[in-house]
Amino acid sequence: MDVLYPLGTAISRGQAALAVSAFDGGDRAHRRLAQHTADLAARQSARSVGVVLWPGVGPGERVVATLDERLALLGASVSFDEVAVLPTDAPGSGDTRALLDTLGDWYDVRAIVAERSAPEVGGHVPPWEATRLGAACQERGWAFALTESGAEDEEAQPSGIIVTVARGDVEQAARMLGHPFLVSGHVIEGDKRGRLLGFPTANLRPDARKALPANGVYAVRVRLPGEEAATHPAVTNIGVRPTFGAGQTPLIETHLLDATLDLYGVPIAVEFVARLRAEQRFESIDALKAQMARDAQRARTLLAVN
């Protein structure tokens, strides 16, 4: 799957049916959107293209998935001929006609396909809202279609997923998404305190816009570079480490249960399976170590690790 990022200089890439979406939310809805677009493209002998609106939210708002995560999920679960990324925070991107002008510069547009509803962005209706898109397409003589939505699509709106994740219910978030909630990023060097405790960790630095689960301890699986799936069982702690009197910025620390690897500088993805407990302060280092051992054993059980 070709990925074009970002849409910019006018280069004709031929006839295409375009699915326009932030692609930040439920996988089931995106599959339906992709299939509808592919069907229209086939009837027009055109290419099927997913147009990813990034970030698709207002300044300071959180996203369910980062751009890299969205592209990875589309590549793994949705079959477009190609994917193009359209920045929504660039000058002029707040106008529906300007948005379609950009798409028209790149493609001989045969059809635009969109989701039936789009959330408000920064307190206003975004330019890719269905009614606006439909009217602007009609002005150009472009075909316009909407995907049908189901009850699960309403539940899987990004705002609802973010609320669910924020309370630590990663199991419900997975049901809403159609896949495990994940956090990805590069491993950064920490203070090596976990190593001294006997539980070495990889410290993750995610995108600043990424929604994060509530502070606590989670059973997770980790995907390393070059791997197609997250197969490494692990325990992740998100929090401020109150036992050590740490600051207010949450850290994401992951301890692999089946391997000890040097991951500094390596991009990894952490898939959240279940919440083990809330973050808590311990009266002694020994008490913390004992709880960490119990957390690891419980994670092994949940993840079916021998």
For the entire predicted model, the pTM comes to 0.87
3-state secondary structure of 72: helix
Residues with Cβ within 8 Å of residue 283, at least 6 apart in sequence: none
Side-chain half-sphere exposure of 269, counting CA atoms within 13 A: 19
pLDDT in tens, the chain (306 residues): 566 665 555 556 789 999 999 998 777 888 889 999 999 999 989 999 999 999 888 888 899 999 999 988 888 777 899 899 988 887 666 789 988 988 998 899 999 999 876 555 555 678 888 889 999 999 999 999 998 766 566 667 888 899 999 999 999 999 999 899 999 999 987 665 555 455 788 999 888 899 999 999 999 999 999 898 999 999 999 987 655 565 667 889 999 997 878 888 899 999 999 999 998 888 788 888 898 899 999 999 999 876
Residue owning tokens 């991107």: 93
Is the C-alpha dihedral spanning 153, 34, 22, 104 positive or negative? negative
Buried b (16+ CB within 10 A) or exposed e, 77-112: ebebbebbbbbbeeeebeebeebbebbeebbebbbb
Burial category of 56 from C-beta neighbours within 10 Å (exposed 0-12, middle 13-18, buried 19 and up): buried
Nearest one of 64, 117, 120, 84 to 1, comparing CA atoms = 84
Helix (H, G, I), strand (E, B) or coil at 94: coil
Give the start-to-end residue ranges of the domains of the chain. 2-155, 180-302
Work out the number of other CB atoms within 10 angstroms of the CB of residue 12.
Answer: 10
Q: What is the architecture, at CATH level 2, of domain 180-302?
A: Beta Barrel (2.40)
Pick the CATH number of 2-155 from 3.40.50.1970, 3.40.50.300, 3.40.50.920, 3.40.50.620: 3.40.50.620
